[in-house]
């Protein structure tokens, strides 16, 4: 075997020894598993109106966008989707990207000027972390949800431009950032606030407009919001939403916007239909809130260390990575798909099962899934931190 491949093999063996092997498992259409692993919070990925809208655009435009947005890929569907998103989120303008990951890379980098300080929450998603890295700006990582630490970091950089970077609903434990307090601190120091509302959009807020709107920050001139179109909206793509001048800046300078082929028009059309449905889905949001509370009570009553969710993400700590893998595999063998999060995908090196709730799952299946999770739980509840 070539040297470099042997070196990769040795590294894979080390990961295996630490219980951190990752393998791909193909899912077939119509897989009978009860899905507590995906992010299809409102069940919109398979909604007939969403699928029909995508299908019509597929016939009209073909499969791909055939070019980047500035060259040939910007269809009327993309523009209409951006208008819909801006209207929903209560901002001047919205700009659609191929993914939430790329939207975050562009948003962070676009907010950075010479001497900017980035203040980033320790639990932030990899795409925000990478955005900070590729921006080249000095970055201070603050303890999770610690407003005082953010204030101290800003106070230590007087006179410098600064951006506070946070998720809204954190993707691993489902807890909500103290958005109003962060905004107040940022404003006091003349800093901007970038909020990734990936897990809030469609799930919380007035008409599902997200955690930023719920915190009363929609349209604030010093706030920029990003989100993915792949979770509650059931599609694919990402969005940056905020002041028109900032969106223009991204159109003209955002590398992950300019040099990336536009998202397929059919996906944009499906997401437009999903936005309309999500705006009207207060009943589904109430059901998600109810299920989150029920999950916490049921798993907590079984003695499992469960998170306190603010939206539709619930996590249960596992004794270690191997235990998490075995727990998730046992659940899967019994027809229940759960997320299995291990380092480096966890911010605190603790392994967990992550349950993402979806109204696309029947209530009976959901309750059965929780029973299964309890029955498959590892015997030892001792937390082991790697």
Q: Residues in the site for ligand PMP, rule: CB under 6 A?
A: 99-101, 104, 125, 127, 167, 171, 196, 198-199, 228, 230, 238
Told to judge if 231 belongs to the known catalytic residues of this protein, a careful annotator would answer yes
Report the 10 Å Cβ neighbour count for 133: 14
**Residue 154 or 198 with smaller CB distance to ligand PMP:** 198
Whole-angstrom distance, CA of residue 377 vs CA of residue 362: 23
Q: CA 68: distance to chain centroid?
A: 24
**Residue 174 or 265 with smaller CB distance to ligand PMP:** 174
**Residue 73 or 100 with smaller CB distance to ligand PMP:** 100
Whole-angstrom distance, CA of residue 275 vs CA of residue 53: 12
Told to judge if 283 belongs to the known catalytic residues of this protein, a careful annotator would answer no
Q: Using alpha carbons, list the distances in angstroms from residue 383 to 183, 321, 342, 366, 380.
A: 35, 10, 13, 26, 9
Told to judge if 17 belongs to the known catalytic residues of this protein, a careful annotator would answer no
User: Which of the following is catalytic: 78, 183, 189, 231?
Assistant: 231
Whole-angstrom distance, CA of residue 277 vs CA of residue 271: 10
Told to judge if 167 belongs to the known catalytic residues of this protein, a careful annotator would answer yes
**What secondary structure does DSSP assign to 148-166, as a single string?**
HHHHHHHHTSTTS-EEEEE
Q: How far is the CB of 225 from ligand PMP (least distance, A)?
A: 12
> 301 has which bridge partners?
none
Q: How far is the CB of 338 from ligand PMP (least distance, A)?
A: 16
Q: How far is the CB of 169 from ligand PMP (least distance, A)?
A: 8
DSSP class of residue 176? B
Residue with tokens 């915190």: 215
Q: How far is the CB of 142 from ligand PMP (least distance, A)?
A: 17
User: Which of the following is catalytic: 175, 199, 315, 351?
Assistant: 199
**Residue 100 or 309 with smaller CB distance to ligand PMP:** 100
User: Which of the following is catalytic: 39, 74, 98, 230?
Assistant: 39
Q: At what angle do helices 363-375 and 282-301 cross, to 10 degrees?
A: 20
User: Which of the following is catalytic: 33, 167, 287, 310?
Assistant: 167
Told to judge if 189 belongs to the known catalytic residues of this protein, a careful annotator would answer no
Whole-angstrom distance, CA of residue 331 vs CA of residue 333: 5
Q: How far is the CB of 194 from ligand PMP (least distance, A)?
A: 12
User: Which of the following is catalytic: 196, 260, 287, 310?
Assistant: 196
Told to judge if 125 belongs to the known catalytic residues of this protein, a careful annotator would answer yes
**Residue 230 or 317 with smaller CB distance to ligand PMP:** 230
Residues catalogued as catalytic = 39, 125, 167, 171, 196, 199, 231
């Amino acid at each position: 075997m070539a040297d470099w491949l042997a070196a990769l093999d040795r590294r894979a063996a080390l990961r295996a020894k630490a219980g951190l092997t990752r393998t791909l498992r193909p899912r077939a259409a119509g897989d009978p598993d009860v899905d507590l692993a995906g992010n299809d919070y409102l069940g919109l990925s398979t909604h007939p109106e969403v699928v029909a809208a995508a299908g019509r655009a597929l016939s009209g435009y073909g499969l791909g966008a055939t070019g980047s947005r500035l060259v040939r890929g910007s269809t009327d569907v993309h523009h209409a989707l951006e208008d819909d998103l801006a209207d929903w989120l209560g901002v001047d303008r919205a700009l659609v990207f191929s993914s939430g990951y790329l939207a975050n890379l562009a948003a962070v980098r676009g907010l950075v000027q010479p001497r900017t300080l980035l203040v980033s929450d320790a639990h932030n998603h990899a795409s925000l972390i990478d955005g900070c890295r590729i921006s080249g700006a000095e970055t201070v990582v603050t303890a999770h949800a610690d407003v005082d630490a953010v204030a101290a970091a800003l106070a230590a950089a007087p006179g410098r431009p600064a951006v506070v970077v946070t998720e809204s609903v954190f993707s691993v434990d489902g807890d909500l950032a103290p958005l109003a307090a962060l905004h107040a601190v940022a404003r006091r120091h003349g800093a901007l606030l970038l909020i990734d509302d990936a897990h809030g959009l469609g799930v919380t807020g007035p008409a599902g407009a997200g955690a930023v709107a719920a915190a009363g920050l929609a349209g604030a001139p010093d706030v920029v919001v990003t989100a993915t179109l792949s979770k509650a909206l059931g599609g694919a793509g990402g969005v940056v939403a905020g002041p028109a001048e900032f969106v223009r800046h991204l159109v003209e300078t955002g590398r992950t916007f300019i040099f990336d082929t536009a998202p397929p028009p059919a996906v944009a059309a499906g997401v437009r239909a999903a936005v309309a449905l999500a705006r009207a889905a207060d009943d589904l949001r109430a059901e998600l809130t109810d299920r989150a509370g029920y999950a916490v009570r049921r798993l907590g009553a079984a003695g499992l260390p469960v998170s306190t969710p603010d939206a539709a993400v619930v996590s249960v700590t596992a004794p270690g990575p191997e235990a998490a893998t075995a727990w998730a595999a046992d659940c899967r063998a019994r027809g229940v798909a759960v997320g299995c999060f291990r380092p480096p995908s966890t911010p605190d090196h603790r392994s967990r099962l992550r349950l993402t709730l979806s109204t696309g799952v029947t209530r009976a299946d959901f309750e059965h899934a929780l029973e299964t999770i309890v029955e498959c739980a590892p015997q030892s509840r001792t937390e082991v931190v790697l």
